[in-house]
């Protein structure tokens, strides 16, 4: 069994804070601090340029990908890290559209995280070949998959509500219609069990600053199904995705395998932090993390509904349909979240009225959940949120 008390001890959690926002930015792992110092002082400081070889910087995007692969059910050698999730989604979609040249529909849902839709629209405009982005209601996705669809592009776990799509079922339906399936795993990696290989997903991408605790601005990852990768013509054909970057050839030739999804120079310090953060996952079974996450979200929903009648559940009630986060609607949700944060319980807010709470079993336990609800119930009962400073919108909500 996973020792969750031991994993919790591996994080720096500020005194007096209950952190329910690891679905936005995971907390600092102790090992990450140490590793960043080593990268900066001993590698950059002492080795200088030689560190690309001596400290293995050049191979880091592959090494880190190998650590992420088992957490998302990916085969070895199928995950590369780098860039941002927006860029990785662009790469995946560009590759998928070039593999289905006779089809014009990109199918998504209207609850998707906006950047995925923005990137798709930007790509469609650049291609200028008459593609159409069709974003239907999440429940209508399955019925909308037909033979006009080139790519099904979905976020597995909805950022706002935590609603989870059935990856296996939708991927299979996409394949039966001859379409490719692309999954955004931002709220899935490290949060729920994902079986990319078992589902035969074609492409997937995710970020590492949420449940994987890679720190602010941590690089993204991309997965391509092994049977497909040699067909991929990278749209972002940067030099580090070239088969021999240091030949400095004028013509582009893609690297073998997933390395062709690399673009340019990786963020080495940030990658090192991520690499250290991923060590916490060694030997951890995602099935046990998922079971624990369900216990925590169920407890939270039960307690909030019993003690905070003003809040309305905005997440699926069935845990099988829900990721590792829970949202509640409240008319004064923004102000209430600010009041809650002022009292040491950190969640976040998603427009128009959702208070969002993430549960990461690696460092959140039942006692945290109970204490968080105590504070929330008090904030609501005392109308502690009803102060002008709590209604002033910050840039990041």
User: Can you give the binding site for ligand PLP, defined by CB under 6 A?
Assistant: 84-86, 113, 115-116, 155, 159, 184, 186-187, 207, 220
DSSP letter at 393? P
210, 290, 322, 350: the active-site residue: 210
Indicate the length of the chain as a whole number.
Answer: 397
Nearer to ligand PLP, 103 or 187 (CB): 187
Answer yes or no: 210 catalytic: yes
The answer to whether residue 209 is catalytic is yes
| Of the candidates 257, 350, 244, 269, the residue with the CA atom closest to the CA atom of residue 21 | 350
**Nearest distance, CB of residue 266 and ligand PLP, angstroms:** 15
Give the DSSP H/E element, type plus range, for residue 371.
helix 366-381
d(CA 362, CA 10): 9
Residue 8 CB, shortest distance to ligand PLP, in Å, is 24
The catalytically annotated residue of 300, 334, 356, 357 is: 356
Query: Tokens 């008090």 identify what position?
Result: 378
Q: How far apart are CA 229 and CA 223, in angstroms?
A: 9
Give the C-alpha separation, 276 to 259, whole Å: 22
Is 223 marked active-site? no
160 vs 254, which CB is nearer to ligand PLP?
160
State the minimum distance, in angstroms, from the CB of residue 206 to ligand PLP. Answer: 8
Query: Smallest distance, Å, CB 191 to ligand PLP?
Result: 11
Query: Which sign, positive or negative, has the C-alpha torsion 299, 300, 304, 305?
Result: negative
Of the candidates 159, 209, 330, 363, the residue annotated as catalytic is 209
Closest CB to ligand PLP among residues 119, 284: 119
Q: Which is nearer to ligand PLP, 133 or 177 (CB)?
A: 133
Which residue, 85 or 93, is less far from ligand PLP as judged by CB?
85
Nearer to ligand PLP (CB atom), residue 131 or residue 187: 187
Q: How far is the CB of 157 from ligand PLP (least distance, A)?
A: 8
Which letter does DSSP use for residue 149 in this model? E
The nearest distance, CB 302 to ligand PLP, in angstroms, is: 27
DSSP 344: T
Task: From residue 239, give the alpha-carbon distance in Å to each of 81, 83, 365.
Answer: 15, 14, 45
Catalytic status, residue 356 = yes
- The encoded tokens of residue 106 equal 């990109």
Packing angle between helix 60-68 and helix 268-279, nearest 10 degrees? 30
- Chain centroid offset of residue 265 CA: 22
Sequence-distant (6+) residues with CB within 8 A of 292 are: 2, 4, 361
Query: Residue 294 is inside which H or E element, if any?
Result: helix 286-307
Distance of alpha carbon 305 from alpha carbon 299, whole angstroms: 10
From the list 109, 184, 202, 368, the catalytic residue is 184
Active-site positions?
113, 184, 209-210, 356
């Amino acid at each position: 069994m996973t020792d969750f008390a031991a994993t919790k001890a591996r994080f720096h959690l500020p005194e007096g804070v209950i952190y329910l926002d690891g679905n936005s930015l995971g907390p600092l792992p102790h090992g990450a601090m140490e590793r960043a110092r080593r990268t900066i002082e001993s590698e950059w400081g002492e080795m200088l340029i030689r560190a690309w070889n001596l400290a293995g910087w050049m191979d880091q995007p592959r090494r880190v990908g190998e650590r992420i692969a088992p957490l998302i059910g990916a085969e070895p050698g199928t995950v590369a890290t780098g860039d941002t999730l927006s860029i990785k989604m662009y790469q995946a979609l560009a590759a998928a559209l070039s593999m289905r040249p006779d089809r014009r529909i990109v199918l998504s849902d209207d609850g998707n995280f906006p950047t995925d839709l923005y990137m798709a629209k930007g790509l469609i405009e650049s291609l200028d070949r008459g593609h159409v982005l069709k974003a239907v209601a999440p429940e209508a996705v399955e019925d909308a998959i037909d033979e006009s669809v080139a790519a099904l592009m979905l976020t597995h776990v909805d950022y706002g509500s935590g609603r989870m799509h059935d990856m296996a079922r939708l991927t299979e339906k996409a394949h039966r219609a001859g379409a490719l399936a692309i999954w955004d795993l931002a709220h899935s990696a490290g949060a729920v069990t994902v079986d990319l290989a078992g589902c035969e997903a074609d492409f997937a991408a995710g970020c590492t600053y949420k449940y994987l605790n890679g720190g602010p601005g941590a690089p993204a990852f991309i997965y391509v199904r092994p049977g497909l990768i040699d067909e991929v013509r990278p749209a972002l054909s940067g030099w580090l995705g070239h088969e021999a970057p240091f030949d400095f050839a004028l013509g582009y030739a893609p690297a073998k395998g997933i390395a062709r999804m690399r673009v340019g120079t990786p963020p080495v310090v940030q990658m090192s932090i991520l690499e250290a953060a991923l060590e916490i996952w060694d030997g951890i079974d995602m099935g046990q993390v998922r079971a624990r996450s369900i216990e925590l979200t169920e407890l939270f929903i039960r307690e909030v509904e019993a003690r905070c009648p003003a809040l309305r559940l905005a997440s699926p009630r069935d845990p099988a349909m829900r990721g590792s986060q829970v949202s509640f609607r409240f008319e004064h949700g923004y102000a209430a979240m600010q009041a809650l944060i002022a009292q040491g319980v950190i969640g976040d807010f998603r427009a128009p009225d959702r208070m969002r709470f993430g549960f990461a079993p690696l460092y959140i336990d039942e006692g945290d959940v109970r204490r968080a609800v105590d504070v929330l119930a008090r904030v609501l009962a005392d109308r502690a949120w009803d102060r002008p400073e709590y209604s002033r919108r910050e840039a990041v909500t």
